[in-house]
Amino acid sequence: MVVAVMLSVARSRLALVTQIGFFSVNTLGLLVGTIYNTKTPDLYENNLHHKLGWTITWIVLAQIIVGLLRLFTSGKVTDETDHEERLAFIPISTHHMTSYQQMRSDSVASMHRYSHDSGHGTESDSGTSNSLTGIHNEKEEETQRFVGQARDDLSEGQAARKLLGLAAVDRFFLHLSQLVPKPVLKIMDIFYEAVDILILVLGFILILTGLVTYGGVFHGDNIFNGLAHAIKGGIFFWYGLLTLGRWMGCFAEYGWAWNIRPPVGMVSARKAKMPSAEFVESFVIFLYGSTNVFLEHLAAWGDAWTAQDLEHVSISIMFFGGGLCGMLIESRKIRDLLNASLPRWNTSQDRYPYKEQWTPPKTYSFSMNPFPGLIILLLGLMMSSHHQHSMVSTMVHKQWGTLFVGFALARAITYILTYLSPPSSYLPSRPPSEIIASFCLISGGLIFVASNKDTVAAMERHDLNAMFVFTVTMGWTAFLMAWAIIVLAVKGWAVRRRQSVSHSAWGTLA
């Protein structure tokens, strides 16, 4: 499913094929599971795994249907239509069509203005000619961009026919796509893209609930301890995957890939205004601390507070305050107010003698916020020496606490490297220390999930020591990181392939 998501994000024609393949395999698994359930007693009644599995199955099926409708609504032109007719009937979004019409209107107005000016002698003939040539070239480039977008939509529609290959099914979806109004199509687009974002998280939850159901853990009040470890460990697990994604170049358009944020023009205004990655990290830490303060005593609601409860609440308060400090550091307004001790001078004048001294330092162009790393460092130190009910539990907690310390040290090395040599390119700089940081977070998060009371009790019951969890987690983490790099490379291949098809199509249309 991960490959299907990456191909869908890349808007590849192979996305629908991969989604149908995944759904077929998943349907086979559901059939085998249903047969197994009818032959065996239900050892975990009313479990979440079965319900969530069916829910995700229906969501994936709905996404496939929406994907088919999107393909047919974007390709309603036959192959026999000549190039000019294709351009006239290619369905482009309303936004692109409005922009194209505006571009054409501006072009005509500019041509008329320069023709009128030349008649009155306000510009020379050569100046007018150069201006008209520049305008023509600029508008021609924009026309190529619109045609490229239209050609992509056309190829998507033709791919649907090649994919299905059945005339009856083809006519059915084509007729159905014509009956769907445009507002509904927009809602379907939002649903399709939302599934691409959420399906991986839902899959992770499905795997966790499957392990819980298979292991028969988290019964009674132990569900609170299990949920706490699963949610908190899952957050650090996904934090590690996002850290790995930043190293690979994901979110480079936001300036999150250890690169310079691209300006408006290269990216949209919304992307250019996105907060820094450190602000998002600090906000998540703040949100975790502010909400978890009221949940630490949930498992013993109504009972007296213990010293361990107060320790956990203190950790939540540390997250609360540390996340708030991190967000304040990322605020440009706050940083400007902190410079208020120096008087304001008009440095725009060329005669100003200290103009160079008022130039902002290079480090101002890049965020180096130590608070996310500091908070996780302190959490790791606390958990490494946190007293538990058994030696095995203490060792398991020490393992993921030490890994979190490793993340903080690796992030500190990253900031040292960027301080000495700030990023100077739009391309990802890929500091090597972030690979270690992501490895520590992913593995630490998985061991965090496994450090719950029921899992530790099962380990002790089967004479398994703490190193069993550590070694298994290290192997799976290395394999998972390699798989993540492969699927991101597949996404890049799909994007390059789509771009090459678009460029070759424009050469044909031209």
Total residues belonging to the chain: 510
Distance CA 167, CA 172 (A): 9
Task: Please determine, for residue 193, whether its predicted confidence score (pLDDT) is greater than 80.
Answer: yes
Q: What is the pLDDT of residues 389-404, one digit of tens each?
A: 899 999 999 999 999 9
Q: What is the mean pLDDT of residues 4-13?
A: 87
Structure tokens that stand for 160 in this block: 């649907």
Give 173's pLDDT tier (boundaries 50, 70, 90): low
Q: What is the pLDDT of residues 47-87, one digit of tens each?
A: 899 999 999 999 999 999 888 887 777 644 333 333 433 33
Distances (CA, A) of 31 to 27, 58, 134, 206, 496: 6, 14, 64, 17, 38
Q: What is the DSSP letter of 386?
A: -
- Residue 339, pLDDT score: 81
Distances (CA, A) of 41 to 6, 37, 305: 39, 7, 40
Distance CA 225, CA 67 (A): 40
Distances (CA, A) of 247 to 77, 244, 414, 445, 473: 42, 5, 11, 19, 22
Helical segments of 90-221, H only: 94-119, 125-164, 167-179, 182-215
Q: What is the pLDDT of residues 345-377, one digit of tens each?
A: 655 555 556 667 777 777 777 888 999 999 999
Task: Please determine, for residue 475, whether its predicted confidence score (pLDDT) is greater than 90.
Answer: yes
Largest CA distance in the chain: 97
What sign has the CA pseudo-torsion 227, 233, 235, 238?
Answer: negative
By CB atoms closer than 10 A (0-12, 13-18, 19+), residue 138 is middle
Read off φ and ψ for residue 137, nearest 5 degrees: -65, -40
Task: Please determine, for residue 265, whether its predicted confidence score (pLDDT) is greater than 80.
Answer: yes
From the list 243, 276, 241, 242, the residue with the least C-alpha distance to 260 is 276
Q: What is the pLDDT of residues 332-342, one digit of tens each?
A: 888 888 888 77
Distance CA 200, CA 14 (A): 19
**Cβ neighbours for 301, distance < 8 A, ≥ 6 positions apart:** none
Q: Are 358 and 431 in contact (CB under 8 A)?
A: no
Answer with the residue of higher pLDDT: 168 or 432: 432
Entry pTM = 0.78
The answer to which of 189-193, 364-368, 457-461 has the lowest mean pLDDT is 364-368
Q: What is the pLDDT of residues 87-118, one digit of tens each?
A: 333 344 444 444 445 555 554 444 444 444 44
What sign has the CA pseudo-torsion 159, 163, 167, 173?
Answer: negative
Q: What is the pLDDT of residues 478-501, one digit of tens each?
A: 999 999 999 999 999 998 888 876
Distance CA 254, CA 426 (A): 10
SS3 content of the chain, % helix, strand, coil (to 5): 75, 0, 25
Long-range contacts of 328-333 (CB under 8 A, 24+ apart): 329/278, 329/282, 329/369, 329/371, 330/275, 330/276, 330/278, 330/279, 330/282, 330/367, 330/369
- Residue 256, pLDDT score: 93
Tracing tokens 């703490």 back to the chain, one arrives at 466
- Residue 144, pLDDT score: 52
**Cβ neighbours for 90, distance < 8 A, ≥ 6 positions apart:** 77, 150, 151, 153, 154
Q: What is the pLDDT of residues 203-245, one digit of tens each?
A: 999 999 999 998 889 988 888 889 989 999 999 999 999 999 9
Tracing tokens 């009644």 back to the chain, one arrives at 45
- Residue 102, pLDDT score: 54
